[in-house]
Amino acid sequence: MAILLIGSGGREHALAYALAGSPYCRCLFTAPGNPGTAAFGRNRPDLDVADHAAVTAFCRQEGVGLVVIGPEVPLVAGLVDDLRAAGIRAFGPTRAAAQLEGSKGFTKDLCAEYGIPTAAFARFREVEPALAYLRERGVPIVVKADGLAAGKGVVVADTLREAEAAVRTMLSEPGAEIVVEECLFGEEASFFALCDGTRAVPIGTAQDHKRVFDGDRGPNTGGMGAYSPATVLTPEIERTVMETIIAPTLQGMRERGNPFTGILYAGLMLTADGPKLIEYNTRFGDPEAQVLMPRLTSDLVPALVAACDGDVSGVEVGFDPHRAALTVVMAAAGYPGTVVRGSEIRGLDNVIDDEVIVFLAGTRAENGRLLADGGRVLAVTALGASILEAQARAYAAISRIDWPEGFCRRDIGYRAVAREVAGDGI
């Protein structure tokens, strides 16, 4: 079948790699795409993905049998609703179901109603009641903007002053809403479930590194690196997550008349009281997809089709249990703030082999040269028999990439590596 992939990041390069590798994929289009996705099919930068009628017309014209949507913005904008209404198979949640990512308040209310473990919270539209709540609860405390903020709308405040400033800033926008919640302690991990509206099958685990600098310091980013599997998530914890978090979420969404189809990405805190939900995303993560896709041993296309068609019960999602993957994001200097675009990246051909893949994110090709064209630019991904081995390979590859204007964290995977050194690996 013809497949249309929506997006232009490193995640979409990784998805293109998995989709185009399927015998079911006759041809792949990516809109808008990037130089990485161009290697697996045809990019369509001319197709405006915000124009749902144009996307529908394109699918009809090309006989597209499956649309896969990478980022959250088109999901929240209802692209899946419009494609489905036109009889086109689209993988991902409807606009209403994407509220699980698009509105933190919506998700927290669902958690409260269905007893899903999460941080204690309250929602506010007014400054004064929010400040009163902060003072009553004390610090540390977490203040979150309600809507999509690309991972940057969260302040974990250690002082009341910081928390108060966050409340005032976030509520200064007209119509803004915030969630103020208890600070959870533990290790974070990401759990992915493939959902058909009723049932779910696990589709991998990973650990992201959100802060920009080594040792988890500095501002939050979209993600500076990741590895899979998240060895801290034992099979027993995975079962608990499926039972206490994923299953009641699907039930709640169904009962509210908005069944959830697509990828439910649970950001978890593994607390002393068990796994708790920090947030949901309703798509594959970026850069988590860059470590999940290379480990996949089963075909992604029939799995996504089964979810769209409403029955994942027969889907086997296979990962090689003896293969770990680790990705290090190389970002342009200044990220997550303002970055300079246009510097040249050289030497990628020397690093790619059976164990190393460089997924391209914010890049553009110009006259045969590869230029940086965004904040996160490369996801240098390596496989290995352990996370330590994958880590060593990824950093060896980075040392051979010639891009002085880029930077990366030097410690991606440190928690898992420490566990492996202590004898607790994959």
Nearer to ligand AMP, 92 or 151 (CB): 151
Cβ 73 to ligand GLY, closest distance in Å? 12
The backbone region for 186, taken as left when phi is positive above 0, alpha when psi lies in -120 to 50, beta otherwise, is left
Region binding ligand GLY by CB under 6 A among candidate stretches 14-22, 178-186, 283-291, 355-363: 283-291
- Order of all β-strands in the sheet with 154-157: 121-124, 178-182, 141-145, 154-157
Residue 285 binding target from ligand GLY, ligand AMP, none, CB below 5 to 8 Å by type: ligand GLY
Q: And the tokens for 115?
A: 């007893």
Of residues 160 through 219, those in contact with ligand GLY by CB under 6 A are 208
Classify 16 as helix, strand or coil.
Answer: helix
Region binding ligand AMP by CB under 6 A among candidate stretches 5-13, 24-32, 148-156, 299-307: 148-156
Distances in Å between the alpha carbon of 129 and those of 159, 163, 179, 180, 382?
18, 13, 12, 11, 49
Cβ 222 to ligand GLY, closest distance in Å? 6
Residue 222 binding target from ligand AMP, ligand GLY, none, CB below 5 to 8 Å by type: ligand GLY
Of residues 265 through 304, those in contact with ligand AMP by CB under 6 A are 267, 278-279
Of residues 239 through 268, those in contact with ligand AMP by CB under 6 A are 267
Indicate whether 279 belongs to the interface with ligand GLY (CB under 6 A). Answer: no
Cβ 221 to ligand GLY, closest distance in Å? 8
Alpha carbon dihedral 326, 331, 336, 338, in 10-degree steps, equals -170
Nearer to ligand GLY, 58 or 284 (CB): 284
Please, which residues bridge with residue 371 across strands? 344, 364
Indicate whether 142 belongs to the interface with ligand AMP (CB under 6 A). Answer: yes
Interface residue with ligand GLY among 7, 225, 285, 374 (CB under 6 A) is 285
Nearer to ligand GLY, 222 or 370 (CB): 222
The candidate with the shortest Cα–Cα distance to 250, out of 344, 242, 157, 328, is: 242
For the chain, how many helices (H) and strands (E)?
Answer: 14, 23
Q: And the tokens for 166?
A: 């966050």
Q: Which amino acid is at 175?
A: G
Residues in Cβ contact with 314 at an 8 Å cutoff, skipping those fewer than 6 apart: 306
Binding-site ranges for ligand GLY (CB under 6 A) = 151, 208, 222-223, 281, 285-286, 288
